Amino acid sequence: MSSCVLAYSGGLDTSVILGWLIDEGYDVHAVYVDLGQPCEDRQAILDKARRVGAKSATIVDAKEELCRDFAFPVLQWQAKYEGVYLLGTSIARPLIAKKCLQVAREVGADAFAHGATGKGNDQCRFQLAAEALQPGIRVIAPWRIERFRQQFPGRSEMIAYCNDKQIPVKASAAKPYSSDENCLHISYEAGKLEDLSVNGVELVEFGMTVSPQQAPDQVETVSVSFEAGVPVRVNGEPLSPHAIVATLNQIGGRNGIGRVDMVENRFVGMKSRGVYEAPGMTILYEAHRLVEQLTLDRDLMHLRDRLAPEVAEMVYYGFWYHAKMDALMAFIREAQKPVTGEVRLKLYKGTIAVDSRSSPYSLYDEGIATMEGGGSYNQTDAEGFLKIQGLPTRVQARVRPRPF
């Protein structure tokens, strides 16, 4: 009998797939990778897997690794897919694949199964990561298998399957949208969210944030400190990477920070609609950028900003374990060395405003920047600077005059 590990969340898809793989004759080892999912009962998920018939059900704690080794390097890049999405699900997938393969090695499983659909991005992230770590690994993706799709042509059939087997799941025929969560964010898609005339922010029952309208009527101040581009303290208190994210999730969540409703371009070529909430990471992105404004020189920051969309694409597409990503991560570690300092932010009803910022490595020199007289900058020097900068333009203008 073949055995496989299943990346198991306990949600609708993986609950159905667990039962289906067992029906197909597999010994299934369910692996729940604990990424700090804020709304999930871990023991209930393991109990459910065993009740369905899993050969084993394991929790792997990867919360600190997710934040330290995956989310924070992406944060240092200021990488946002298509300028908006903070990549919470994308960042987690290569780590889930890694942990599942480690369990597969321990239990002697010869295949890795997942619940990602054949239309989405996660199938790419899981498979590309697994093959990069273990070339030749057999990947089982039931949504790409015709007989699975014939048995489950829609979510209503999956819900009925779970009802027949007495498998409790969050999704229902009345509220069939799908969610994926970890400590970085929660994503919502499918079901009624596929109708763009529906207000997604009003439809979704958010798990991490209150609406800006329901947030407190007073400003809340929070400070975040960085060392070499890595967040290390919140409100002066040293915290672990996961504790920083969790703390800022609470602070940002109660102030309505970090909700997004977007239509994005999937790697497979179609557009899809997603609703996201990422309160803690939204605060970290803003605070990090503010420290960079003090500590990074212009050309280095602009180079990083030109490369950031490339990094976002690689993370979104699933090329985490890739030679180009290795090189880019080495670059950002070097570039972030001076990004040390503290930012104080004011949060109010979904908005973030800077209150103050400081750094021992600040390149901001008030004596140079001041608009008042004196200082160490001689404005007369700009005369020669502009003559040199304008030389190519003047030459071209004489040869090819521009009408005006």
* Domain residue limits at 48: 3-75+85-175
Verify that 27 and 135 share a domain, yes or no: yes
Examine residue 180 and state whether it is found in any structural domain, yes or no: no
Please give the backbone phi and psi of residue 237, each rounded to the nearest 5 degrees, phi first: -100, 125
| Span 90-149, pLDDT tens digits | 999 999 999 999 999 999 999 999 999 899 999 999 999 999 999 989 999 999 999 999
195 carries an active-site annotation: no
Verify that 212 and 260 share a domain, yes or no: yes
| Span 206-232, pLDDT tens digits | 999 999 999 999 999 999 999 999 999
Verify that 159 and 190 share a domain, yes or no: no
Verify that 147 and 272 share a domain, yes or no: no
Query: Cα 179 to the chain's mean position, in Å?
Result: 14
Examine residue 250 and state whether it is found in any structural domain, yes or no: yes
Active-site hit among 93, 155, 259, 304: 93
DSSP state of 321: S
Verify that 36 and 150 share a domain, yes or no: yes
- C-alpha 272/C-alpha 292 separation (Å) is 33
37-41, 186-190, 382-386, range with the lowest pLDDT: 37-41
Verify that 138 and 197 share a domain, yes or no: no
122 carries an active-site annotation: yes
Examine residue 398 and state whether it is found in any structural domain, yes or no: no
Verify that 70 and 204 share a domain, yes or no: no
Active-site hit among 122, 125, 179, 187: 122
Single residue among 343, 358, 373 that ends a domain in this structure = 358
Examine residue 367 and state whether it is found in any structural domain, yes or no: no
Verify that 321 and 348 share a domain, yes or no: yes
Provide the CATH number for the domain around residue 37.
Answer: 3.40.50.620
Number of structural domains the chain divides into = 2
pLDDT of residue 173: 57
Residue predicted with more confidence, 355 or 368: 355
Q: Are 212 and 337 in contact (CB under 8 A)?
A: no
178 carries an active-site annotation: yes
Examine residue 404 and state whether it is found in any structural domain, yes or no: no
DSSP state of 235: T
| Span 374-396, pLDDT tens digits | 677 888 999 999 999 999 999 99
Distances (CA, A) of 97 to 30, 123, 133, 280: 13, 11, 9, 24
State the DSSP string of 69-105: IIIHHHHHTT--BTTTB--HHHHHHHHHHHHHHHHHH
Verify that 281 and 160 share a domain, yes or no: no
Verify that 171 and 191 share a domain, yes or no: no
pLDDT of residue 12: 83
DSSP state of 140: E
Active-site hit among 9, 13, 225, 261: 13
Provide the CATH number for the domain around residue 283.
Answer: 3.90.1260.10
Active-site hit among 34, 68, 69, 178: 178
Verify that 223 and 344 share a domain, yes or no: yes
179 carries an active-site annotation: no
pLDDT of residue 393: 96
